[in-house]
C-alpha cells in the first residue's frame, strides 16, 4: 500500500511529542496510537489512560483488510475519521445515533438503542465509542450475552455519569479492545485511536 503522507506540521508535532513521552513500555503500534491521541488533545496524561487488550492492533489490521464495517456512536466520531477512511480503506461507516429504531426500550437512550440496532446488523464490526457510555454498556451486554462479537471495540466515552462503569464493563471482556480509563475521552479521542489504527494497517498491508 502507498504510504499515508502526514502534513509537515503533524510530523514536527509527532517528533516533539516523542521527545516528551515517558511511556517506554509501549509497543511501536501502541506508541503510534497514544502519540496520535496526545497530538489531538495535547494531554500527556493519556500515556497512562489508554489500555490495550487482546491484541487490538492486529485485530484491526485483519478486520480492515477484510472490509469489515465501522460503527461509531455519534456523528462527530464519524467526521473525525472521514479523511483517513477516504484515503485508506474506504470502509463503510454507520453512525448509531442515526439508526435509532422507532420504538425505544424502557430506560434506554437513543444512542444505546441505535448501537444495538447497528451491531445486530453487523455483529463483527469495528466499533468506536467516544461520547455515549450508555451505548458502550449496551454493547458490552450484547457481547456478554453472545449476541455479538465485534472485531474491535474502542471505548472512549467522556464525562461523569456511567462513564467509568462503561469502561470497566469493556475492560472485563476478552475480545480485542482499546479503552481510555477514567473520565477522560471524547469523540476526538476515539477518532484519533481509530485513525492511528487505520494508518498503521494501511502502511503494513
191 contact partners, CB below 8 Å, separation of at least 6: 40, 76, 77, 79, 80, 81, 128, 130
Say whether 101 sits in a helix, a strand or coil. Answer: coil
CA 190 – CA 195 distance, rounded (Å): 9
- C-alpha cell, 135: 451505548
Place of cell 454498556: 137
**DSSP state at residue 24:** T
- C-alpha cell, 156: 472512549
Q: Give catalytic status of residue 39 as yes or no.
A: yes
Reported as type and span, the H/E element at residue 153 is strand 152-155
Q: Which of 7, 39, 122, 177 is flagged as catalytic? A: 39
Residues, the chain: 205
- C-alpha cell, 155: 471505548
Task: Find out whether 70 and 47 touch, Cβ atoms under 8 Å.
Answer: no
The residues assigned a catalytic role are 39
Amino acid at each position: 500500500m502507498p504510504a499515508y503522507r502526514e502534513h509537515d506540521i503533524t510530523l514536527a508535532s509527532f517528533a516533539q511529542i516523542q521527545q516528551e513521552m515517558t511511556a517506554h513500555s509501549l509497543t511501536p503500534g501502541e506508541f503510534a496510537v497514544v502519540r496520535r491521541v496526545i497530538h489531538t488533545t495535547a494531554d500527556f496524561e493519556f500515556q497512562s489512560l489508554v489500555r490495550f487488550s487482546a491484541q487490538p492492533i492486529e485485530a484491526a489490521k485483519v478486520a480492515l483488510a477484510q472490509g469489515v464495517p465501522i460503527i461509531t456512536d455519534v456523528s462527530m466520531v464519524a467526521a473525525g475519521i472521514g479523511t483517513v477512511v477516504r484515503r485508506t480503506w474506504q470502509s463503510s461507516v454507520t453512525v448509531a445515533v442515526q439508526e435509532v429504531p422507532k420504538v425505544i426500550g424502557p430506560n434506554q437512550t437513543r444512542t444505546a438503542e441505535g448501537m444495538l440496532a447497528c451491531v445486530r446488523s453487523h455483529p463483527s464490526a469495528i466499533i468506536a465509542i467516544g461520547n455515549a457510555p450508555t451505548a458502550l454498556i449496551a454493547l458490552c451486554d450484547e457481547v456478554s450475552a453472545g449476541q455479538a462479537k465485534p472485531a474491535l471495540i474502542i471505548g472512549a466515552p467522556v464525562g461523569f455519569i456511567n462513564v467509568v462503569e462503561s469502561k470497566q464493563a469493556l475492560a472485563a471482556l476478552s475480545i480485542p479492545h482499546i479503552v481510555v480509563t477514567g473520565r477522560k475521552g471524547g469523540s476526538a479521542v476515539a477518532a484519533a485511536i481509530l485513525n492511528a489504527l487505520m494508518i498503521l494497517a494501511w502502511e503494513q498491508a
